[in-house]
Amino acid sequence: MYIPKHFKVTAIDEIEEFITKYSFGTLVTTKKSRPIATHLPLYLEKDVDGHYYMTGHLAFGNPQWRTFEESEEVLVMFQGPHAYISSSWYNHENVPTWNYQAVHIYGKAETVTKEELINGLKKLLNKYEGHRENPILWEKLSPDLLETELKGIVGFKIKVREVQAAYKLSQNRDEEDKKNIIGKLYEEADVNSHQLAEAMMKSCKYMD
């Protein structure tokens, strides 16, 4: 994606934290030049050799997994908070804009074995269920149910080849504008605006 230098993020730890937090991504492949997209949760991890890869699963009936073999690369997009920035929030005449955080991952995808699929599903359950009062983890589900459900999905992994991260958080504005934008975002009624304000606070190292 196009990323102006003001907004480019390269710190891998920061990007990893972002993907872990906003892990519901969009997987894009092509079939005969036509784009195909699926929205799904993904799990990012690093192997013993230090290579990053993502794991996930698709419905068996979803034709997208059949495009992996013919796709040299796939694209995964992760979207963070985003919001409209009114030009009335500036200390001078200017046009409005949109602030956002987004990460694009390019890599090679392939289907995995049943054992690898199960390991990936266990990790997803541990992440999203483990902290709950009465977590329903893999071990609590009946073998018959699991076996039935496994027949309906296909596991896959993506070896990460390239990472692109854009955090457009008014880095090109002066300090007064940044403070005004953060304050106005907190006055908005939607959660996205509040989360974006928090991201700007973190980026600018502002204190409450």
* 168 or 204, greater pLDDT: 168
What percent of the chain is modeled with pLDDT above 70?
Answer: 98
CA dihedral 107, 108, 114, 118 (to 10 degrees): 0
Nearest to 7 by CA among 208, 164, 174: 164
- Gyration radius (Cα) of the chain, Å: 20
Residue 207 has pLDDT above 50, yes or no: no
Tokens of 79: 């979207």
pLDDT tens per residue across span 63-113: 999 999 999 999 999 999 999 999 999 888 889 999 999 999 999 999 999
Superfamily of domain 5-173: Electron Transport, Fmn-binding Protein; Chain A (2.30.110.10)
Tokens of 115: 């054992």
Nearest to 16 by CA among 89, 88, 97, 105: 105
Interstrand relation of 24-31 and 34-41 (parallel, antiparallel or unpaired): antiparallel
Tell me the pLDDT of the chain averaged across its residues: 94
Per-residue confidence band for 203, with pLDDT thresholds at 50, 70 and 90: confident
**pLDDT value for 58:** 98
Determine the Cα–Cα distance for residues 36 and 163; give it in Å rounded to an integer: 20
**pLDDT value for 205:** 62
**pLDDT value for 94:** 87
User: What are the domain boundaries of the chain?
Assistant: 5-173
What percent of the chain is modeled with pLDDT above 90?
Answer: 88
What predicted TM-score, i.e. pTM, was given to this entire model? 0.91
Mean pLDDT of 193-207: 82
pLDDT tens per residue across span 99-157: 999 999 999 999 999 999 999 999 999 999 999 999 999 999 999 999 999 999 999 99
Q: Would you list the DSSP string of the chain?
A: ----GGGEE--HHHHHHHHHHT-EEEEEEEETTEEEEEEEE-EEEE-TTS-EEEEEEEETT-GGGGGTTT-S-EEEEEEEEEEEE-GGGSSS----EEEEEEEEEEEEEEE--HHHHHHHHHHHHHHHHTTSSS---GGGS-HHHHHHHHTTEEEEEEEEEEEEEEEESSTTS-HHHHHHHHHHHHHSSSHHHHHHHHHHHHHHT---
Per-residue confidence band for 60, with pLDDT thresholds at 50, 70 and 90: very high
